[in-house]
Copies of this chain bind each other. A is one copy, B any other.
Amino acid sequence: MSLEKKISMAVIKRLPRYYRYLSDLLRLGITRISSKELSSRMGITASQIRQDLNCFGGFGQQGYGYNVEYLYNEIGNILGVNETFKVIIIGAGNMGQALANYSNFEKRGFKLTGIFDVNPELIGKRIRDIEIMSLDSMDRFIMENRVDIAILCVPYEHTPAIADRVACLGVKGLWNFSPMDLKLPYDVIIENVHLSDSLMVLGYRLNEMLKIEK
C-alpha cells in the first residue's frame, strides 16, 4: 500500500465525489458504466476519471467500462469507510447539534461518542442518546476512550487553544468549523470547513450573472 502515499490531495479530494455518484448509480440499479458516461454525469473529463482511478490500480476493463458495485466498494475501502473512528464534538451550539444529529456520518464509520460544552443549560441534555458533557470532563474522556477525531464547533477565539489541548491528548484528526485555517505544529490531520467561503462564491457568481442580464 506504499503506492497510496504518493497520491495527490487533488485526487483524494475527488474520491468522496466518485463514491457519491457510484452510490447514486447503485440506487438506480445501474451495474456497469463507461468512463465516458460517468464523465458526462459528473462533469469531469473521461481521461481525468481514468487517470484518477489508475492511481489506485485501475478497476476498469477496456471496452467494458466499470463494474459499479465493485468500484463503489473499492473506493469505499480506499476511503476507509469500513474503518471505525471514535469522534467527539466540542461545542454543542447550533452547528455542533446539527452535526451531532446527522446520523449519516455513522454509516461512513464515524462513531459519535461524546459531546462537550461549557454552557450549563446544555450540559446534561441528550442528542441521539449521547449526553452533552462539561468541557471539564473532556480530557479524561479522550484518554479513556481513545478518541480519534474531534469536531471543533467552538467560537473563533477559543479554537486554537482547544485544538492544542485535544492534540496533546492524542486526538489525531480535527474537523474544524471555526472560520480559520487551523494549523498545529504536531502530527495531526486537520480539515478546515469554511461554509461562508462557499456562500461568498455563490454571491460572486450571482453578481456576475446579474451584471450580464442588465
Contact = CB atoms under 8 A, between A and B. Distances in A.
Contacts of A161: none
A12 B200 CA distance: 10
Contact of A85 (B79, B180, B206): B206
A208 interface: yes
A51 interface: no
- Does more than half of chain A's interface fall in helix, strand or loop, or is it mixed? helix
Identical copies of this chain, number: 2
Contacts of A209: 172, 187, 189
Top 7 A-B residue pairs of the complex, sorted by shortest distance between their CB atoms: A16-B197, A94-B98, A98-B98, A16-B200, A191-B202, A80-B207, A94-B101
Interface of A: 1, 4-5, 12-13, 15-17, 19-21, 24, 42-43, 78-81, 83, 85, 93-95, 97-99, 101-102, 104-105, 108-110, 148-149, 172-173, 175, 179-181, 187, 189, 191, 193-212
